[in-house]
Amino acid sequence: MTGHLRARLRSGSESGFTLIEMIIATMMLSVVLAAALGVLSSMQSETVLTTNRFTAEGQAQTIADRISKDLRTAVATSATGAAFVSANVNDVTFYANLADLLGPDELHAYLTLDPGTSVYLFHEDSTSPNAGGSPGNYTYTGTPSDRIDGEYIDTSQPLFTYFDTDGNPIATPITTTAALRSIDSVGINLRVRVTPTSPVVVIDTTVHIRNTDYNPND
């Protein structure tokens, strides 16, 4: 270190900064930058959470609207049959009058476990009736097609709940024709996530089942 520089460091009256002042200034700047980065990180996290919540709400509402619309078209294939093939808390199969010229379509709404996670995905498949069928004698051996594919579903609550005409819940699984014919309404409890770890958005709705027989002129 030259004599001139040593003199400047020793003298507090000369212009410029001492080494101690530089160290203190650097430390203070580090504290300010750390605080600013913390605020920025928090704002980014809140933005992601808000975006995920709005996305989940949109997904949940879309699924709820579409499955509700399909359930409202549920019809029995004959005067002695039922609109539902089977009904459980996270899985339901029913006939729907979707204006198919061959007869009512068979719709299957269900959940599948997303590989590598502990959450489930929502699906609804549609199978058209085979040609040549008639009321009470429809068959469905074709390949199902995707009708609805949803996001991550939280299964801490049943997705579907079934009620009779008095509003009493029907024990699941529902498999007999008499019990299936007694379904008067279906409660839908959608708990949707955008990612396996993002917040859950809940949409509850209840759909009344018309319990009518299939009529191609309806």
Rounded-to-integer distance, Cα 106 and Cα 34, Å: 59
pLDDT tens track for 163-215: 999 999 999 999 999 999 999 999 999 998 887 778 888 999 999 998 787 77
| pLDDT at residue 131 in the model | 94
SS (H, E, C) 67-135: HHHHHHCEEECCCCCCCEEEEECCEEEEEECCCCCCCCEEEEEEEEECCCCCCEEEEEEEECCCCCCCC
Total-model pTM: 0.76
**Residue bearing tokens 């009493």:** 168
Q: What is the pLDDT along the chain (218 residues), one digit of tens a residue?
A: 555 545 554 554 555 668 787 787 788 887 777 777 766 666 666 666 667 777 788 888 888 999 999 999 999 998 889 999 999 999 999 999 998 889 999 999 999 998 887 789 999 999 999 999 888 889 999 999 999 888 788 888 999 999 999 999 999 999 999 999 999 999 999 998 887 778 888 999 999 998 787 776 55
Q: Which distant-in-sequence residues (6+ apart) come within 8 Å of 53 by Cβ?
A: 198, 199, 201
| pLDDT at residue 51 in the model | 74
| pLDDT at residue 47 in the model | 63
Look up residue 64 and give its DSSP letter.
H
Does the CA dihedral 180-183-185-186 come out positive or negative?
negative
